[in-house]
Amino acid sequence: MRPALIKNLVEKVNGTLVECNTAYKGNRFSSEEHLKAIRERGYNEIAEVDLMEMPGITAMGGFKLSF
């Protein structure tokens, strides 16, 4: 979804966008490229964006979940 489509809702609920890297090659495969895509598309301008990473997921409060 484009940022303009979700902006009003996200701002109304003071939301955080949560993303994770993809398992397939592309511009969201690595965290570095994914963060670049987030900035280029403007998602960081409408809300805080949490990028979850594998194999450990950094949850809110700094906890590290491992599996």
Domain extent, residue 51, equals: 3-65
Q: What's the domain count of the chain?
A: 1
- Nearest residue to 51 (alpha-carbon basis) of 65, 62, 40, 35: 35
pLDDT at 40: 95
pTM, to two decimals: 0.70
pLDDT band, very low/low/confident/very high, at 8 (cuts 50, 70, 90): very high
16 to 4, 11, 57: CA distances (angstroms):
15, 9, 16
Sole residue written with tokens 């700094």: 62
pLDDT digits (tens, 9 = 90+) for 18-63: 888 887 888 787 888 888 999 999 999 999 888 887 445 555 555 5
CA 35-37-41 angle, 5° bins: 120
